Amino acid sequence: MSVEAPRHQATDMSVPAVRSYSVRTYGCQMNVHDSERIAGLLEDAGYVAAADGDDADLVVFNTCAVRENADNKLYGNLSHLAPVKEARPGMQIAVGGCLAQKDKDVVLKRAPWVDVVFGTHNIGSLPVLLERARHNEEAQVEILDSLDRFPSTLPARRDSAYSGWVSISVGCNNTCTFCIVPSLRGKEVDRRPGDILAEVQALVDQGVLEVTLLGQNVNAYGMSFADPAVPRDRGAFADLLRACGTIEGLERVRFTSPHPAEFTDDVIEAMAQTPNICPQLHMPLQSGSDRVLRAMRRSYRQSKYLGILDRVREAMPHAAITTDIIVGFPGETEEDFAETLSVVEKARFSSAFTFQYSPRPGTPAATMADQVPPEVVTERYQRLIALQERICLEANTELVGSDAELLVSAGEGRKNSETGRMTGRARDGRLVHFRGAPDIRPGDVVTVTITDAAPHHLIADSGVHSHRRTRAGDAHEAGTKPTTPPVGVGLGMPTIGATAVDAPVSACGMGDLT
């Protein structure tokens, strides 16, 4: 749909020669990566990133529709910006992402001072919509019902000098009754392997050490290629992991998220046999009750789930396994919840993202009978948190005295000024606060010995055993971040100079990608 709405206030169209922008991101890793694409598009169009704390000429909200209070949070923030916009002639506000896809023209009804509303399927339209809104003095709403090209065909300004997101697919073919994502992101469509590897190579060429492969269901990769010339391949994800292992300079590869129903042993083998694949697995459980899993339309059961974890740990004894769990799904009884606690006890997750169920309009679960009273959900949630924190602390305590290689991080920063601790991520994804030194930079790699443990982090206070300065650290110190050019030319179309499906690493005939 495309709508032009009249403005409700006069607009002074004087605008600065160089316009600044700010992107505010809510929700999952997919949204974070989409925001990198939005930033890349805006900078290609001549915008510059606003300095922290500065008012921007353009504010873009990249929204999430999964959380219960997503609507209130967005419209509250938009309300705060209304007087700012009134006082700044030429300022623009854009709303995109999942909530925009869901609400469509509702955004303008509730916040008529917004200039542009765009959906998950047409990120690339944003610069044109902004210019059209400015020229016509009318708000622009453009929501497409399906994706017309991969976000990877758009430029990206990356958030990190040392770690990058790479999308391998968009959309989801599952029909979980609690989830609104398929209706907002569409059916699953997979990128060509050569395009993915070209984007990974482009990041590594700029010093990035760690890449996370993104998909709503990564282990279904290979079943829904957009390019009809690429045949369906049930083993494509394992092959992709192995291909990442051939990229020189790529030190860490992670992925999120797989689905237990489609998780296969070839992926476990690829993880165990490919040195740069991190010993970390995020495996959503959602519920330990077979009855609740059936109501959720999660096509696996408790025994299958635990069997996967057993095979993962047999191949990688020290793998850190994390999960998602929903408490209080409609109809969940105390017996069902006890089954969840039992699975958590057996699974020994290194951490868990736990959620109190809340109805999401447009999902089957929202209209199910036997909604669990909020006070019951909260009480169960607290019991789950207590159990998981005990397990986390026990597992982390077992690591005291062991050595860990850390990729020093920036966003999590120093723990506090008194201790002088810095922060890094171990290969298994655990957060480690360590006593650093002035010459250690985010993006560098250090080795430490774990000296203490807490439920959500480890501590290393005995000093740094080794410190390797990296190109990523150089880039962070210089204040530069990777930018990646478009990779691929759209849905259902072959990549320019495309390589064979089984090519390990390629720039896809695009020349120098740096």
**pLDDT band for position 447 (cuts 50, 70, 90):** very high
Query: What is the mean predicted confidence (pLDDT) over 469-490?
Result: 84
Per-residue confidence (pLDDT) for residue 481, from 0 to 100: 86
Residue 11 clears pLDDT 50, i.e. is over it? no
Which residue positions form the known binding site?
A: 28, 64, 98, 172, 176, 179
Query: What is the mean predicted confidence (pLDDT) over 306-321?
Result: 97
Residues 71-85 have pLDDT tens digits of: 778 888 899 999 999
Per-residue confidence (pLDDT) for residue 209, from 0 to 100: 98
Residue 506 clears pLDDT 80, i.e. is over it? no
Per-residue confidence (pLDDT) for residue 179, from 0 to 100: 87
- One DSSP character per residue, 216-285 reads TTGGGTTSSBSSTTSPP-TTHHHHHHHHHTTSTT--EEEEE---GGG--HHHHHHHHH-TTB-SEEE---
Spatial CA neighbour of 168 closest among 401, 488, 474, 496: 488
Choice between 53 and 345, residue whose per-residue pLDDT is larger: 345
**pLDDT band for position 37 (cuts 50, 70, 90):** confident
Provide, rounded to the nearest whole percent, the portion of the chain with pLDDT above 70: 88
Q: How far is CA 56 from CA 32, 48, 219, 284, in A?
A: 19, 9, 40, 38
Burial of 223 (0-12, 13-18, 19+ CB in 10 A): middle
Tell me what the pLDDT averaged over the chain comes to: 87
| Distance in angstroms (rounded) separating the CA atoms of residues 218 and 426 | 23
Residues 383-442 have pLDDT tens digits of: 999 999 999 999 999 999 999 999 999 865 444 566 789 999 999 999 999 998 889 999
Which residue positions form the known binding site for [4Fe-4S] cluster?
A: 28, 64, 98, 172, 176, 179
Per-residue confidence (pLDDT) for residue 488, from 0 to 100: 64
- One DSSP character per residue, 466-503 reads EEE--HHHHHHHHT---EE---S-STTSPPTTPPPTT-
Residue 155 clears pLDDT 90, i.e. is over it? no
Residues 201-252 have pLDDT tens digits of: 999 999 999 999 998 899 999 998 878 888 999 999 999 999 999 999 999 9
Query: Where do the domains of the chain lie, and which CATH numbers do they carry?
Result: 20-142 (3.40.50.12160), 151-398 (3.80.30.20), 402-478 (2.40.50.140)
